[in-house]
Structure 1
Amino acid sequence: MSRTISAQLECPNRSDWPTDGQPISLCHRLMGSYSTDHQAQFGPQGWSVSFLPGRSFTHAETQLALEAAEASARISALARLVGLTALELTAMATNSSTAQGGGQ
C-alpha cells in the first residue's frame, strides 16, 4: 500500500517539515517518517536510508523502506502490549499462519 508524501522546497529543520496528515514527508533532498526517527537523503547514487546503510534506493523504494520502519514500530508497540518482543510476535504469527496453511 503506497502512500502519498508531502512536498516542500525549503525546510532545514525536521520540525519544519510539512505535517498534512501523511506518515512520510519529503523535504528537498530529505525524506522522513513522523512516527520514527528514520530518514533518507538523496545523493549522487540515489536515496540512502538511515537504517539501511551502504545501499542506494529509488524514490519509491525509499518510501516503502520508511513505511516498513513505521510498520515495525507499530508491531513493536503491539507486541509490548501482549508481553512479547516484536521478533517473538512476528515469529509466532508467521509460524501459526504457516501451520494453518495461511503462509507461503
Structure 2
Amino acid sequence: MDWIMIFRYLGVAIALANISIIVILLSIYWKNYRKWKSEYTIGLLIFGFFLLIQNLLSMGFLAPPPPPGPSGGVGDGYSLMLINICQLISLSALLKISWK
C-alpha cells in the first residue's frame, strides 16, 4: 500500500470521527434550544449542520481511489487529511466545553 492510500484511509477515519462529534454536538445544542429557545443556540445548530455537510463532502473526496496520472492526487488527500485533523482537534475541544 502506498502513502496516497494511507493518507486517504486516515482522512476518511478522521472525517468519521469528526462526523460523530458533530452529531453529538448537534444533539446537545438541540436539547439546549428546546430548553432555552435561544437565538445563539440556533446559530450553533446552523453552524453544526453546515460543518456536518462539509465533513460528509470531504469524505466523498477522500473515499474514491486516486485518479490515474503522474501525481496520483497526493496533494488532495494529504491536504484534506490535515484539514480533518485540525477540525478533529477543534471539535474535541468544543465537545469538552459543551458536554455537561
* TM-score (norm: length of structure 2): 0.33
Q: Which has the higher strand share?
A: 1
TM-score by length of 1: 0.32
Q: Which has the higher helix share?
A: 2
